[in-house]
Structure 1
Amino acid sequence: MTLAWSPSRRGPLGVYLHIPFCRQRCSYCSFNTGPYHPAAMDRFHSALLDEIDLVGEAAWAGDVTIGTVFFGGGTPSLLEPIELETILDRLRKRFALDPGAEVTVECNPESLTRAKAEGYRLAGVNRLSLGVQSLDDELLVRLGRLHSSDDARRAFDAARSAGVDNVSLDLMYGLPGQDVARWESTVRGVLAWRPEHLSAYALTLDEGSRWAGEGVAGLPGEETVTAQYWALARMAREAGYEHYEISNYARRGFRSRHNQVYWRAEEYLALGPGACGFLGDVRYGNVKPVERYCTALEAGGLPLGTHEVLTPAQRKAEKVILGLRLSDGVPLAWLEDARSLVETWASLGLLEVAGDRCRLTEAGFLLSDSLFVHLL
């Protein structure tokens, strides 16, 4: 059994691999995760290799190259270097991995050492994404994180000393008890480290998280969260970072290539429990429970859970909305049917038109969720 869908082109594909284990679930987390146990990791690791083999048996597998690989989670840095190396070797065996492919691993600071970072680099990883979230130790405890601000700095230094020259940091704002000054202190601290990339997300209480179910006190008001957004945009710009996507900032030449696969509505494979992929005109997802995922593969089948065939109209809408997330914007012709919206947003300073392209401004980025509703 192999995938029933095929890519629409033979250009590079992205690959997303979901590593579903965590030592502790964070208060805000709604992702597909489960408690870490060595035996569970061993079983999952074997199943993941089987999934790569099955997908690699597709008739088109030999005709495509892999341009980006992203290990997300969960906590992918719970993988030992030899386990990660085995996964990448299996990908190389089944697919043509571009020699210059971007290979990213999400890491929690408490689980990243210099030896592990060096092992990852030697296995072929060339980008690490550290889940710092905050440099405020009080907030880190409330978030349910297992690391301190000192641990975050040690992890960053471990990556650098291991020879990793492309490090991204994840941050969160809009946190309970976090005023603008506390947020600015974290931003100022991480900018001083000079990472290549920053991702910063406002807290959302998504279904499935503990805070969504139980509630959380002390959330800042909308005005404070807006001020935090503008503080980051200003501080990052002054430090030489490009605000290239709604929630992402990069030094020149260090945009996330894998995430741009998503934002440009390009195609990517999904591997691991709960992972989602997109091939041709089909969006699909694997089953989420690790037990079901492993059982399906041990029986010789793929662990597919859902799929949806997109209509041309859905595909067009997705390309517009995802493309407007980037500072590059989209061709103005893509919004031909929404000319009045374009003119209104431009008059409000939310969108800019330059030649045959249009893009959201930083003010437009801030209001993008409400703007995109009008394009659906």
Structure 2
Amino acid sequence: MSREAGPLIDIVAGARPNFMKVGPITRTLEARKAKGGHLRYRLVHTGQHYDARMSGDFFAQLGIPEPDVNLEAGSGTQAEQTAAIMVRYERLLLESPSQACLVVGDVTSTMACAIAAQKLKVPVAHVEAGIRSGDWAMPEEINRIVTDSISNWFFTTSPWAGENLRRQGAEDERIFFVGNTMIDTLLANLERLRPPPFWDELGLSSGGYFVVTLHRPSNVDAAASFKQLLVAIGGGTRGMPVVFPVHPRTAKTLEAIPGLPRSIRFVEPQPYLEFNYLTRHARAVITDSGGITEETTVMGVPCMTLRDGTERPETVSVGTNEILGADPAALAPALDRLFAGHWKKGAIPEKWDGRTSERIVAVLESLLPA
């Protein structure tokens, strides 16, 4: 964090995907500062999610600076986390005010810090604003709606997100279509991607395996339905290796499921460079994650989403993603089309060009003059 005079922006992150989104913004602010830019920033880690991989290899791999502040909010229920983050961030602002609060994505930290900032009359900018799934059963959807309802400025990944905001009542002059900072991070690291240690051990080769990630409660919390999905994946992928980095939520359910397909190889969660190497070289990705569908779209990798909808429709209308729903029966015909060579090629959405953080910082410089 620069100590010179100038408007101070809090950049808030609370979970691993957040750091992938704020990393390009901090680097751009540093580069602008070196050329006479007037903005300062303070990187605030709420401590919503914390592990050694995040604090060590993850920051080093992506060149993300260590946080200036760690609120150490810790785990708990949704309400407990929200309350802890709000109390601790409010205390920070009272002791050391900032001139703006920039939040990203849709985790609990996003909403909690936006609320605390607004109540102290600190303007809020939301990166990835306007994204909507329409599914209020997702905690992330509640976080998005609340955050957007009280934000001053909106940085969007797509024109579709801007339309959502206009329907909510946001004025055009507060909406900035800038692109996707996750893609800034991906494009900056494409040539640095590297195979995981188990690449040779599992006999993997480019285009010769699948990647699966599943973590949403509707897919993984019930052992019987989860097993049906895995059996359908094992059958539809025709004996090819299926690499499944296992989320902690998913691991708990797997312990109670016997007799899974041998082709599915369960591995530890992977660091950024290794995971995206796996994704880039996969025959296809099967997931219920929204962020991964953005990365597969840019890398041109076929993607199948096991959900009934998506908050990122541009990955379907423009990119390589298709929504299959959660019915295991939908996998076989989709995989048959893939093996027959009939999967769509896809394209890269507008402004997903690696320069999103530059556009965000340019807007912030105009909104927060020296």
Q: TM-score range by the shorter chain?
A: 0.3 to 0.5
Q: Which one has the bigger strand percentage? A: 1
Q: TM-score with structure 1 length normalisation?
A: 0.32
